[in-house]
Structure 1
Amino acid sequence: MSAEPHPTLPPVRLPADAELARDALGAPLFARAVRLARWAGPDTRVEFGGELAGDQLPLAARALGLDTSEEDSVVHASQAWRVAVDTGLVDVTEPEEASEEAEARPGTAAPGEDLALVTGGAPADVLDLWLAALDTVLADAAVPDLDDLVDALDAGGEIDFDRLNWNPGREADFLDGVLANLYLLTVAEGGTADGPVPLPVLAASMVVPDGMGEPTDAVLEQVSDAMMRLDDQFRQLEPIGLVEYQPVDEALMTEAEEQPGNADGGDEEDVSRYGMVRLTPLGRYGIRARMLEAGVEAPAVGDLSGKGADALLDGVARYPEGAAQAEIEQWLAGRELPGAVAELLAAARGDDEGAPLRRLRCQQALAPAGPEAEPVVRAVLDDPELGGLARVWLAEHGVVDVPAPDGAMVFWLTVDTIAAQLAADGETEELPLLMETLTAHHTGFFDQAWRVDHPATADVLEAMGRLHPDKKTAKEARKAAFKARSRQS
């Protein structure tokens, strides 16, 4: 899988390996591959490349409980056999050609050593087998359908790839890109989560150039073509458990060709007719595993649970708030609370660029802590970097004898809070309101603020100069920022 589309991704929430392994074993195609591996024996004959001999396919279909009178039964059997061979569930011996000394001998097949992992291995072993099966299915999905291959045969019976206009690497990259976009839509904060994604949205994400306003007719036609390709590919990917897929309504096929403008998906009532796809939890696991193998940073909630508080706060600093909270909760689970709180507070110290956001995440981590954390929090009341945070926590937990902060601490905490908000979310719509509230409650705010001994003072004041809704106050902020910058110099 290409590492380029999304070098850094939000963390994904995954079930436990045992649950994922159960999903893998329940995926129809993988289950069929396991059944054929158990079926393979001395009478099973294979051809070159490990494919089942033609007369063996109906027998394999019957072993799978398929109706051999249906045309697709041998296709399903052939695909399941290929998965069984590629994953090591079946061991095959290639046929031997005839020689002067011996007659031709057919190839044979037998259950592979890895078949025992299906029932006797750990969940991780089952998932490794499923990932190998996924690789096979993805490779098959990137191949043109049979009709296109037949049309591209030249006079000698060879495939004319120029005529077919098929580049294996390009097709594989296209499918990887689609799955990467589907993954991002699934894990992004405020994204689809468990909801399905309309097929036109995915197709457009791969075809419509960034920044294009109204797509041209030519681009819409490309979107329609991409939708048709994806419709076929997702039909192939559903049996391995990667996705849940509602196919394109066949009645719309002709419409899409005649009126490519329909590929925008229409209104909400009609969009499902153009195909809807959803990554399953197993699918999220599979795409993430492929991304990690390709060198993409694709974190999962729980990755930091066994690490120290410094790694936790640095790690969740860039997480969306919901994912950060879930990661923090897993980190706290199983730890003695007083010791965990002390470790978090120690990790929150610092005057580096990332320190304000670490303190914000520390405050988030401490929010659910109960009364047993109070002595540890009280211990940092006099700390110049943590005293404000400690007072906020104690006040929120109803502690009445909290000493009031002095003016210097109030202004320092204000700068630290705004710096953290800017680092976490950028210049959001809510930030100007926060700035307006702060300046309204402190007469002569900027006369004091530029003197605050905080590394981010000038940056915060410059941001207030850009974002404060009152023009006069914004001008005061810019003057104060200049003073702060001169003082730092």
Structure 2
Amino acid sequence: MSAERPTLPPVRLHSEAELARDALAAPLLARAARLARWAGPDTRVGAGGELVDAQLPAAAELLGLTPDEDGAAEASEAWRLAVDTGLVDIEDPADETGDPDGGFAGADGFDEDDEPGAGGGGEEPAGTVTPGENLALLTGGSPADVLAIWLDGLEAAYADATAPAFDDFADLIGEDGSVDFDALDWDPETETEFLDGVLGNLYLLTVGEGADGAPVPLPALAASMIVPDDMGEPTDDVLEQVSDAMMRLDDQFRVLEPIGIVEYQPVDEALLVEEGEDALSPGDEEDVTRYGMVRLTPLGLYGIRARMLDAGVDAPAIGDLADKGADALLGGVAHYPEAAARAEIQLWLTRRGPDGAAAELLDAARGTDELGPLRRLHCQQALALVGAEAEPAVRAVLDDPELGGLARVWLAERGAEGVPAPSEAMIFWLAIDTIAAQLEAAGDLEELQGLVEGLSGQHSGFFEEAWRVDHPATADVLEAMGRLHSDKKQAKDARKAAFKARSRGGSAD
């Protein structure tokens, strides 16, 4: 039994309206919007579209930032986001001068006449600033419009987070201001893959079954990317790599927090003084929070999932199946955790309405493929949510060889009258189908063992009859019962029965 499972558990996202409000409140986007409304034809920009140095004090003051280099840098960062997200447009002077490059930066983001990261080296204006069409969408557009703009901002912040620090290439700047990128030990693809991996692990820790969304210690997150799963005590070399990764992530999360995807408590800078960067690893009894804590925000879950979907990763969200048919619903929730499956089914029923839902669910539950038992298990759970309206459709399948047992169980649980007793063949078929569903779901081992022993104990000579059941999973189920049963004689009987079932050819391999 090896049906394909989703790569990640389903995430429960906030509504688009809530997410859009969070996006508008993200500090970096909020600052970018304020600067876009402040800017006009007299605003001067440099060769790369950045604000010239003379404009930065006024921009910082508008944003309530400190009147120093840090404030100017934050204002410059917000302006770059306004440009990157289309909140402002800059008319290319090439339209008037005929210069094919228009004096703007090349594909590497730097103009050959400017130092990287400078706030507009020359003071000559390089373009005319006008409001971008996206500016109006921030206040007058739909939540989807706002989120689309925010996603553009996330990509820009992501690029900044994976870019080399100025100190990394300060010595590589030539006298003419150009940068020798070939001599820079920086691979943008590797940097992006590393950050993608870290945020993917953080996403999984946030949406996994039993996850509570609590902040994750930075050392644990760094170790998840460095320390092999089968390694016992990490070597000194591995610990040094973890320390390096922590410092790398500390810088990156500081860049990403203002766009709103994470809440981040940075590494305590006193640790760097106490221990030095090469010794940045917590002791057994030390307060781990000093080494950095990070959690994805609801907006961060949305943003990282969007990036995963763009990369082709199967990252489901609760509600994805709400407008699909019952076959897509039961197949889609097959390997969802129980709570997530119930939430998805409830949304489907709310959208679908009770009329005809039970009959559609029962029809979709049929099938002898590997996922058939799980579809029937989730169908039974869905029928419980439908309520009394499902009874006519359930009674209509009492004689169905695949659904008759399920129907009797559902009716009996509701105390319905006039429920015919099941035949012995139906009882055994339902027992095999039930265990097959639990095996495919790969649930709690103790619960599965209890189910196996309970079902086999309800009928004397269970294994003498079970091997004859005409169910495609009969042999697989009996083999599993032989592994799981705590009674040695019963386990041996189950293995014998499995051999007989395979010899009879009554189970698909």
Task: State TM-score, norm by structure 1.
Answer: 0.92
- Does 2:55 align with 1:36? no
Partner SS state of residue 199, structure 2? helix
Aligned partner of 1:481: which letter? A
Taking only the aligned residue pairs, the percentage that are identical comes to: 69
Question: RMSD value over aligned CA atoms?
Answer: 2.4
Shift of 1:294: 1.0
- Does 2:224 align with 1:225? no
Q: 1:483 to 1:105 in 2, by over 3 A?
A: closer
Contact 1:25/1:31 (<8 A) preserved: yes
Residue in 2 aligned with 1:73?
A: 71
Which of 90, 93, 96 is the equivalent residue of 2:91? 93
Shift of 1:163: 6.0
Which of 294, 318, 333 is the equivalent residue of 2:335? 318
Shift of 1:275: 1.0
1:264-413 to structure 2, matched below 5 A, reads 265-266=282-283, 270-413=287-430
Residue in 1 aligned with 2:260?
A: 241
Q: 1:392 to 1:65 in 2, by over 3 A?
A: same
Residue in 2 aligned with 1:84?
A: 82
Contact 1:48/1:95 (<8 A) preserved: no
Contact 2:162/2:192 (<8 A) preserved: yes
CA distance in 2, matches of 1:318, 1:174: 29
Contact 2:219/2:291 (<8 A) preserved: yes
CA distance in 2, matches of 1:100, 1:407: 88
Contact 1:338/1:376 (<8 A) preserved: no
Partner SS state of residue 160, structure 2? helix
Shift of 1:67: 3.0
Partner SS state of residue 316, structure 2? coil
CA distance in 2, matches of 1:371, 1:52: 66
Residue in 2 aligned with 1:443?
A: 460
Partner SS state of residue 248, structure 1? coil
Shift of 1:399: 2.4
Which sits farther off after the overlay, 267-276 or 12-21?
A: 267-276
Shift of 1:349: 0.9
Which sits farther off after the overlay, 421-430 or 177-186?
A: 421-430
- Does 2:501 align with 1:484? yes
Partner SS state of residue 356, structure 2? helix
Which sits farther off after the overlay, 229-238 or 431-440?
A: 431-440
Contact 1:96/1:106 (<8 A) preserved: no
Q: Deviations over 1:257-292 (max 9, x none)?
A: 4774xx665458712121111111111111111111
Task: State TM-score, norm by structure 2.
Answer: 0.89
Q: Which runs of 5+ in 2 are unaligned?
A: 100-123
Contact 1:84/1:90 (<8 A) preserved: yes
Partner SS state of residue 445, structure 2? coil
Residue in 1 aligned with 2:232?
A: 213
Contact 2:46/2:125 (<8 A) preserved: no
Contact 1:153/1:159 (<8 A) preserved: yes
Shift of 1:148: 3.0
Contact 1:48/1:94 (<8 A) preserved: no
Shift of 1:95: 4.7
CA distance in 2, matches of 1:82, 1:182: 28
Q: 1:316 to 1:107 in 2, by over 3 A?
A: same
CA distance in 1, matches of 2:480, 2:364: 27
CA distance in 2, matches of 1:254, 1:445: 70
Shift of 1:439: 2.0
Which sits farther off after the overlay, 329-338 or 456-465?
A: 329-338
Shift of 1:157: 5.6
CA distance in 1, matches of 2:183, 2:204: 35
Q: Which runs of 5+ in 1 are unaligned?
A: 1-5
1:4-15 to structure 2, matched below 5 A, reads 8-15=7-14
Q: Deviations over 1:75-104 (max 9, x none)?
A: 111001100001111101245699899xx7
Which sits farther off after the overlay, 161-170 or 304-313?
A: 161-170
- Does 2:69 align with 1:50? no
Q: Deviations over 1:139-178 (max 9, x none)?
A: 0011233333325556776545576532222111111111
CA distance in 1, matches of 2:448, 2:243: 42
Shift of 1:385: 1.0
Residue in 1 aligned with 2:434?
A: 417
Shift of 1:242: 0.6
Residue in 2 aligned with 1:183?
A: 203
Aligned partner of 1:78: which letter? S
Shift of 1:457: 0.5
Shift of 1:426: 5.9
